[in-house]
Amino acid sequence: MADEQIDDKQIGKEKRSMMGEWVKVRVLGKGSYGVVTLAVNSEDPSLPSIAVKSSRLEDSHSLESLEKEKRILDHLYGSPHILAFLTDTVSFDDQLGGWAYDLCLEYVPGGSLSDLIKKRGGHLPEREVQDYTMMILKGLCGVHEKGYVHCDLKPDNILVLPLQDGTNYLKIADFGLAKESGEEKQYGDYFRFRFRGTPLYMSPESFLFGEIEWGLDIWSLGCVVVEMLTGKHAMRWVGDVRRNLESECAFVMQQPNIPEYMSDLGKDFLTRCFARNPRERWTAEMLLNHPYLLPEMAVMSATNSMQVRQGWCSLFEDGSYRVVMLAVNSKDASLPSIAVKSSRMEDSHSLESLEKEKRILDHLYDSPHILTFLADIVSFDD
């Protein structure tokens, strides 16, 4: 699903230029921060609806959360997989019973990813999960590049935009708990105790020690992937968590629930998300290049790739620098064949040539008239 299908910058420019009267017509949700309502333009009903997130002006904690969300969303404006911030204002809100601070946001009519999982019977097909995971990672790349950590990534905070072709487009929302660059310096040790996330999606180091870095979002992503596949949490409650140290340690020491029926590459992907040492956890950018997220024809493990080449191969070209072989998947013959270009490890000139080709094709990935690079591997070649 190409990002070009959604032009958030253009949508945002149109909405930011609206000068009509906006009327709140329906409550979409409520939370500790306040209320989210659907708003329509009474002067021009043809304009797209917007979502308005509001909190009472005298509620300093909620107001601080919304102001932080406004700063972050404004900085991330134009990122296609991040909910678009449009403008802010102050209004009298009947639901809150007083004057409120309003964030005007892009309206995404498909509900949350959590809603989608429930509507689909409690789990999603793995191929669809791969597509959605790539979208979430693209959003996280933008978040982390700007120096933020979302801190509360979960299906409830990922919104679903239905497209005309019947597919869905995901957007990350709710940055009220996000970490901004420099917060540790501003708050000191108090910063660790300010954090309030959702324990079932928190990494061990953030749950026990309040360490909040990009690795927290990656662990949370792994939890989201498991939930998309199974409809269940990757982690389970152990004892009275948050009441005693023994229960806390038992909670974080358990192994995340990785589905047995998941593909080998999918399991490997999740092990990269669930590395207990945050320094060994893969970044969002690294995970975007994991073979699990490559096109379907490339979805095979390194073991499968070896079996493919040993199972049946047909030579169709023999060049001076490499051999190109046709390879099929011996475990799943329905998968499309692939071409495998090989050179001997000790042939430094040929190896240098293939490594250069890999770098270039990787950079040109998704160009429709350029041959697609899928993955590289080391194997024994007869």
30 assigned ligand-binding residue:
no
Q: Which of 118, 159, 126, 154 is nearest to 229 (CA)?
A: 126
In the numeric block, which tokens belong to residue 113?
Answer: 């990813």
Q: Pairing state of beta strands 338-342 and 323-327?
A: antiparallel
End-to-end CA distance of the chain: 38
Q: Which residue is listed with tokens 């999740």? A: 270
In the numeric block, which tokens belong to residue 262?
Answer: 């998941």
Cα separation, 310 vs 319, whole angstroms: 21
Q: Which of 161, 150, 185, 16 is nearest to 72 (CA)?
A: 150
Per annotation, catalytic residue among 8, 59, 152, 217: 152
Alpha-carbon separation of residue 309 from 206, 304, 312, 380 (angstroms): 44, 9, 6, 10
In the numeric block, which tokens belong to residue 330?
Answer: 């011996």
The number of CA neighbours under 13 Å toward the Cβ of 346 is: 2
Torsion angle, alpha carbons of 120, 126, 128, 133, to 10 = 110
Q: How many CB atoms lie within 10 A of CB 62?
A: 22
Cα 6 → chain centroid: 17
Catalytic, 152? Answer yes
Q: Which of 152, 84, 154 is nearest to 114 (CA)?
A: 154
Q: Pairing state of beta strands 50-56 and 98-106?
A: antiparallel
Alpha-carbon separation of residue 122 from 229, 230, 246, 378 (angstroms): 8, 7, 32, 39
Contact between residue 235 and residue 223 where contact means Cβ atoms under 8 Å apart: yes
Residues comprising the chain, all counted:
382
Provide the annotated binding site for ATP.
53
Q: Which residues does the annotation mark as catalytic?
A: 152
Provide the annotated binding site.
53
